[in-house]
Every structure is written in structure tokens, then in C-alpha cells.
Amino acid sequence: MAHVVFLWHMHQPYYVNPSTKTAMMPWVRLHAVKGYLDMVSILREFPEVRVNLNMTPVLLLQLKELGEGTVRDLWMDWARKPAADLDEYQRMALLENFFKIHWDNMIRPFPRYWELLNKRGLRFDREEVRRGMRYWSTQDFLDLQTWFNLGWCGYTAERLYPELAVLKTKGRNFTELEKTRVLDIHTEIVRKIIPLYREAEERGQAEITTTPFYHPILPLVFDSALAERCLPGRQFPRRFHWPEDASAQLELAVRQHTEMFGRAPRGLWPSEGSIAPELIPLMQKAGIRYFCSDEENLFRSLANDPSSHGSNPDHLELFQAWNVAYNGATVAAFFREKPLSDFIGFMAAKNESHHAAGHLLHHLRSIEAALPNRRGVIPLILDGENAWETFADGGEGFLRALYGGLLDDPVLESVTMEEYLELAPPQKVVRSLHTGSWISSNFDIWIGEDEENRGWDLLGNTRDFLQKQIEAGTLTAEQKASALQEIYAAEGSDWFWWYGPDFSTENDGLFDDLFRQHLKNVYTICGELPPSILEEPITSMRVAPLYDKPKQPVACSLTGRRSSYFDWMGAGSYVAGSEQGAMYCSDRILKGFAFGNDDDSLYLRFELLRWQDVSVSVEFHGIKPATLEFGPLAPTGRGCYRLVGADGTIMERKDLAAREVVEVKVPLLDLGMNGDDQIRFQVKVFEAGLERECYPERVPIEFALTRNQYALEHWLV
């Protein structure tokens, strides 16, 4: 019997501008009416399933503030305003922001919403949208206000409030009264979330765990110099060393959790699974019984242990609870099984629900069969909110199949982490804990790049200023507490996630503003003017294009070799992962691809990170839709591909070379195109028959086929 433990992690950063008491972004509310409500409600249908639900304190704080009405929701204000009274700024805000929702699952299925998106344009160009605004009627804006908030409502919300499904069926010509009802339902659901999670724990079906209060990378708050252990040779900011802040982030989390749920948390998901041995005494002091991190951190820890003599640890060591010891303190730990956790978060949605759940259950059974004495624990730890947007049904079918399959399986049983520790207390000890996060076992996302380092320096300067004020005794107790809260909020990981080149969205500037606002508030609370440097943006305000379009025709001889670089000079290119945002995927198959054409053919070049059981499809959109398919294949030379038409006709071509890369030549006539057409396509990657990746995720690559005349006008040296 193998015990399966789920930890579903729910988190949103502190979007509230403290100076105006306004939530500048709506994601706490919108995830409440979808993921948070769905995740806790579906458990009632499977009363024997046990899970851990990790609710970050900063998320709980915002749910409480929004539910009580002590903070305003800016996007809710935009939605509540009568469409006829919207000014130009507000209309532009709606056109920019009210399509920030999963297009394929939450816009495209609804004709009116899809019509409004196309009316605005698939790409938001501010000046072009401003010029087109005169063609938008009051009813258009009213329907947009309604659809954005209606579209976010999940399957549980529709069952609790049947009028939501009625409105989705109606589809258009909404009234102000109908819109207001949707928004009132949002507020009602936000108020339900904390009581529902408390009830799930009280009936023994869920264990609610916590995270350091404002979701900081706790090792970097404790001492930013710890980053040198996992990022040697990197340029770092001036040392930020505030162990007392690290302790406060834990103590505040425990205090609020106890107030909201009636008992202190036993488990901790450190923000982004970030750990360091120096944190173990702080956890024990805060009353934390166990924490969780990633399998790579366990394996690196075991490899670093002198008793291992440099040998690689057995992978099966993962499937147990551990004790982690440091400086006289001991805390238990679970380490996440990476491939299956990532499968749920990044790949399950790309496949039919029962097939995806069956794939997961099959691998869980395989692990159970390999365990010594067929006993152990399999920790599945992942984001519990963002992934569900990518499922066409919000994840309902997958979770039903997964939970139902677990209950029917004779060798698998779900338990909470606390229950497992009672069943099987840790027998082994980690004495050389690795310092790192769940992402690449380091802190590269949050420190070491110019923007990130500048943010840390500004944070450090502000923390030093506050400490001098505290030591001088010039602050009242209320001032000190308020100013420290601003520091703790600025220590959150989310600001640094969006700094640097790793991730970028159109909201980079707003995150930057909120971070610097927290720092400015420290000075204001202390009765000082903030330094002018805090008015200067840190982010470069970039939103990188998803792909590069071709600059000239290509004429390739298919070799499958990387040495054919010059054949591809001037081709378009796409780097896999360009669209990464709030979620991080660590196990990609496709590194990237290039594309271009000559007068007769389209050329595609794929660089794969692994080949076994991998196949690729290219879906062409246009007058003559078709799908190009190849694989599974091996890097052995020549191959062939299939071109499947929308009517089911199949053409097989031998114009494929596969050695170091895969190169494909497709006659334009086969695609119903000539040299003057626009071509639109997406690339999908499959492994063992399961869809793993799709590039780009939302909008297809689109470019005008290049002709030789184009090359004369846009020549390259």
C-alpha cells in the first residue's frame, strides 16, 4: 500500500495599495469564484479522499479584506460602473484588461465574447484600440463588463447559482441588473471561501498548511548571501541580512492561521519550496512540525552528506518522510515527486480527462510496486489554482477521475501529511540540507540579475532606514508595526519574480509600482519624504515578442545537422517557454523551432531536448486547415511526415531529416497557399501519446510568406 499525499498550493501576492486601500488587480476575487471554490467543494463528493490545502497568509488576508469590504477592488469598480457612464480612461481599461482570461477555454466557446475580442483585436495596440473605440456601443461595453466576470465563474459557482449558466446561454444584450447580479455573486463567494476551507479541515478531509506570511524567499530574507551556495560566481546585491524578519514572517503566518482556523498550522510549504539549513530552528520555534520542498533538493542534500561518500542517492529514497536536523533543531520534511506533480500542473489539461487521470494513476501504481515492502508515501505538490484555467472544464473531469480512481484502487490511499507522520514517523535524517528552491534547486528567478539586484538594494536601504528609526526611539508602537508590515510585504517573492529576464507580462509596471509603493510607505509612516530614487521604475517595462518573424527567404537543404546554420539565417524563430508567466515548467521537451519559406515550400526546424517516444504535430490554420505529424522517430537520418487535411485525407512526404535537429520541407501547394499568403500555425509536442506542450499557447504564429523581392528590400549582411 502506497500513501498519496496531495498539497494544493493557493497563493496571490498583496495587490492592495496600502495608501489607498485599493486592490489594483482582481486575481484574488477571480480565483475565488473559480479555483478556490471548486477545489474545496469537489472534496464533498469524495468524502474518503484526504488532501493538504496550502493557503498563503497574504491570500487569506486579502480574502478577508475583500469579503469585509475594508479594501476596494479597482477592477470591480470598473465593472460596476454603468456602461453608459464610463469615461474614456475606463473604457480603455476595460479593453486592455477584460480579456485577461484563458482565450481557448473562457472566451472562444462563447460567440459574443469571442466577437468582442476580435472587435478589439487579438493583440492590444493602445493607439489602434483607441482609434477603434468609436465603433464600440454602450451595449458592447456592458456585455464586456458582464462576460469578463461571468467567464471566470467556475463549475461549482454555476451549480450554486444556476442563473450564471442561464446568463452564459443568453450570451449577449445583458442588462445592468444582470451584470450587477454576477458581481454580487462574486462578493458572496469570496465571503464563503475561508469558512468552506475551515469546514473541510474540521470534518477531517483536509489539512490546511501555511507559508511565510507575504510569501518571501525566506533564505534570502534570512541572509541573501546564502544564494552564493547554489549560484556560485553570480553578481549579487548588497547583503540583505535580517533573520528577525524571517522569524516574523513565520510567526505572523502562524498567528493569523490560528485566528482564522482555530488551530495552529502543523505544515509549511516554504515559498517556492525555498529552504536552507539555517531556517530549521526558526521553523521549530514557530511550531512547524514539517515542511515540504522538491525532490532535487533532497537528492542534492543526500549527495552532499559526507556519509554518502559521493555516491548518487537511490531515487526510491524520495518516497518517505524525513527528519531534517540543524544546530540542535529537527523538523520533518516531505519532498515532492517532480514528474507527476508537473504532469498535473502542465500537461494533464492537454489530454482527455480520464486518459490523463489514468496516466497518473498508472504511474502511482508503478511506484507502489517498486517500493521496498510496497510501502511508502508519494508526495504530489503543485499549484492549486492557475492550472485549472487551462482545462476546458476547469479541471472538473480530471479531478473526478483522479479522486474516484484513487478510492477504487486497492494499492493506493490518500492521506494528509500529518496523518502520514502518525502512520510512519521518519526513520532517516538529512544533516546536510541543500540551499535552494523547487525551481532548478537555486534562487535564479529572484536574485542575481540587474533588475532583481536593484530591487534588493532598494529594499535593503529602506530596511536600514527603518531600523535606525526604531533604534532612535522616534516611532510610536503603531508606526513601528505599520512600517514593518510594509517591509514584510516588500520582501514578498512575487515582485522579484517579474524583475529580470525570466518572466514578463503587460503587468510588469504595476507590480513594480506596488513594490516601490510599499517602500515609499515606510518613509511616509516614519514622517519622512521618500527618496526620489523610489520614483524611478526598476523594470524596463518590456513585454518581449513571443517570436521573431522571418527576415528573408530561406532555401534549405535538409540535413538534420546544426551545422546548417547559414541555411536558416533570416528565418523566424520561437524559443519554448517564451510565454511563461505565473507558473514555471521545468521539464520541457522542445527547446525551440525555426520557420521560413522560399517561393515553393515552407521549412520548419525543431530542436528537441529528448527524442524517445516523442512526436510532433503542426496545426495550420487558414483557408485549408491541415495538420502535419511526425514521430516517434530517432535521430538516425531521413524520415517522413504525414499531412492530414480537415477532410481526413492523408499525404505522406519524405522531406524530413532527423539527426541533431529535425528539419521538414512542406510544399506550399499542399497547404493551399502561394507566396502572397499569410501562414498561421501552432506546434504541439506529444510523449507516449500524451500532449505535453503547445507553442504558442494562445495566439498562433502568423507571418507573411516571404518572396525573393522581399529579400532585395530587406537584405542582411
Q: How far is residue 57 CA from its own chain's centroid?
A: 19
> From CA 658, how far away is CA 607, in angstroms rounded?
10
Q: Is the pLDDT of residue 303 over 80?
A: yes
pLDDT classification of 717: cutoffs 50, 70, 90:
very low
Q: How far apart are the first and last CA of the chain?
A: 65
427 Rama sector, left if φ>0, alpha if ψ -120 to 50, beta otherwise: alpha
Q: What is the DSSP string of 176-214?
A: HHHHHHHHHHHHHHHHHHHHHHHHHHHTTSEEEEB--TT
Name which of 404, 340, 336 is nearest 690 in CA terms.
Answer: 340
Residues 309/302, Cβ–Cβ less than 8 Å: no
Which secondary-structure segment (H or E) carries 27? helix 27-31
Range with lowest mean pLDDT among 332-336, 464-468, 592-596, 621-625: 621-625
Q: Is the pLDDT of residue 600 over 50?
A: yes
Which secondary-structure segment (H or E) carries 618? strand 614-621
**3-class DSSP state for residue 593?**
strand
Q: Is the pLDDT of residue 297 over 90?
A: yes
Give the model confidence (pLDDT) of 34-65 as tens digits.
999 999 999 999 999 999 999 999 999 999 99
Tell me which fold the domain 547-713 belongs to: Immunoglobulin-like (2.60.40)
Give the model confidence (pLDDT) of 559-577 as tens digits.
888 765 567 777 888 888 6
Q: Is the pLDDT of residue 330 over 90?
A: yes
Q: pTM for this structure?
A: 0.82
> From CA 344, how far away is CA 167, in angstroms rounded?
31
Cell of 680: 498561421
Cell of 640: 517522413
What are the residue boundaries of the structural domains of the chain, listed by start? 12-202, 339-417, 450-535, 547-713
Residues 396/42, Cβ–Cβ less than 8 Å: yes
> From CA 568, how far away is CA 320, in angstroms rounded?
50
> From CA 3, how far away is CA 413, in angstroms rounded?
5
Tell me the average pLDDT across 310-316: 82
Q: Is the pLDDT of residue 582 over 70?
A: no
Q: Is the pLDDT of residue 545 over 70?
A: no
Residues 317/298, Cβ–Cβ less than 8 Å: yes
- Looking at residue 503, its pLDDT comes to 64
Q: Is the pLDDT of residue 481 over 70?
A: yes
CB atoms within 10 A of CB 356: 23
> What is the chain's percent helix, strand, coil content, to nearest 5?
45, 20, 35
Residues 710/690, Cβ–Cβ less than 8 Å: no
Please tell us whether the domain made up of 450-535 is placed in CATH 1.20.1430: yes
- DSSP one-letter code for 442: S
Q: How far is residue 309 CA from its own chain's centroid?
A: 38
Q: Is the pLDDT of residue 526 over 80?
A: yes
> From CA 417, how far away is CA 284, in angstroms rounded?
17
Q: What is the residue type of 617?
A: S
pLDDT classification of 693: cutoffs 50, 70, 90:
confident
- The H-assigned helical ranges of 98-175 are 103-106, 111-120, 126-132, 138-151, 155-160, 163-170
Q: Is the pLDDT of residue 500 over 90?
A: no
pLDDT classification of 688: cutoffs 50, 70, 90:
confident
Q: What is the residue type of 338?
A: K
Residues 455/515, Cβ–Cβ less than 8 Å: yes
C-alpha to C-alpha distances, 2 to 181, 400, 423, nearest whole angstrom: 47, 20, 12
Q: Is the pLDDT of residue 580 over 80?
A: no
Tell me what percent of the residues of the chain surpass a pLDDT of 70.
93
C-alpha to C-alpha distances, 708 to 217, 552, 598, nearest whole angstrom: 53, 8, 8
